[in-house]
Copies of this chain bind each other. A is one copy, B any other.
């Protein structure tokens, strides 16, 4: 196990009938709030109104900033920062899924900076101050509700970049699984894929082979994400399925899985971000395209962990090590297919001829994320396994 520092201050309020607490929780941080939300879903479901009412009942003045889209964009973040500055808001409230929470984090950092917020994303500036952030989560997926990171797309530059800073942990996140009953099957699946991807990035890229505590935790999270996603797809109103999917997704990226692993990479996300940047496909859908191909590529040189994965997650006990490793990947791919998440570029309508362009784009993010060993040729090789 490598040395690490772990501290995660986010207060999680989890369960049914908890959204009513957003007002009192937010009022602890200020009197004037910027309420960041998506396009329609939180309005349709009534969650947005509940939040508004609770904020007002606690005496907060609310400035609205809605319209965050999936694969959230920099321009909309810029607008939010301007609104926050013009109105001198003291606290940001996010109501939505990972895209909304990510946008809200970028706004909370940008509102306290004199320079363009994008400088944080390209590593030219680091966050010194941020507005406090509270969240009401409506989608089990990104884990943003309990971590300090975010991802935003710069449309002009076709760059989907991310960064993290300890000032950007949400102060409070409210997770009511019942609000995810209305999440449609495709986004339920994509959310589970995202959570699983977060686990797999750590699990397979660690350079430390002595992390049994983290390994078992991660293997459990993958199993739980799959089982609970299956339950939620079978019956969208299955509270236990929704609750376990939601909590698995949060734990998948709250820092615990990676504590002690040392240097890890996020190669599958790195490649997926280029897919989303070019084709605007759902993040989880892009991930299920990349994951099996990357695993097949990685397994060639480094099979040990894949054997353990196959044995512990899918109970594969027969065959040689390389057969087991391959069977584990095949089982995961099959599960992606079962939940209707695409597992090939063609299935996601991404033309094979674009592989070179995608690889070149991913390399740029790789430079920022310090993953220079992934050159364009390597990424093309991986993408060739995703066809």
Contact = CB atoms under 8 A, between A and B. Distances in A.
Most chain B CB within 10 A, of A5, A213, A228, is at A213
Nearest to A247: B213
Contacts of A18: 3
30 contacts: A1-B177, A1-B240, A1-B243, A3-B14, A3-B17, A3-B18, A4-B15, A5-B11, A5-B13, A6-B11, A6-B14, A7-B10, A12-B259, A210-B240, A212-B227, A212-B228, A213-B221, A213-B224, A213-B244, A213-B247, A213-B248, A216-B216, A216-B219, A216-B220, A217-B217, A217-B220, A220-B220, A243-B260, A247-B259, A251-B256
A216 B212 contact: no
Interface of A: 1-18, 177, 210, 212-213, 216-217, 219-221, 223-224, 227-228, 239-240, 243-244, 247-248, 251, 256, 259-260
Copies of this chain assembled into the complex? 2
B212 A259 contact: no
Contacts of A228: 212
A239 B1 CA distance: 8
A220 B11 CA distance: 25
B10 A244 contact: no
A240 B213 CA distance: 11
Nearest to A241: B210
A9 B12 contact: no
Most chain B CB within 10 A, of A216, A228, A251, A256, is at A216
A148 B251 CA distance: 21
Contacts of A17: 3
Given A210-B244, A213-B247, A14 B4 contact: yes
Contacts of A239: 1
Most chain B CB within 10 A, of A8, A212, A221, is at A212
Contacts of A5: 11-14
Contact of A11 (B7, B15, B251): B7
B260 A14 contact: yes
Contacts of A223: 216
A265 B221 CA distance: 25
B12 A7 contact: yes
Contacts of A217: 217, 220
A75 to B, nearest CB: 35
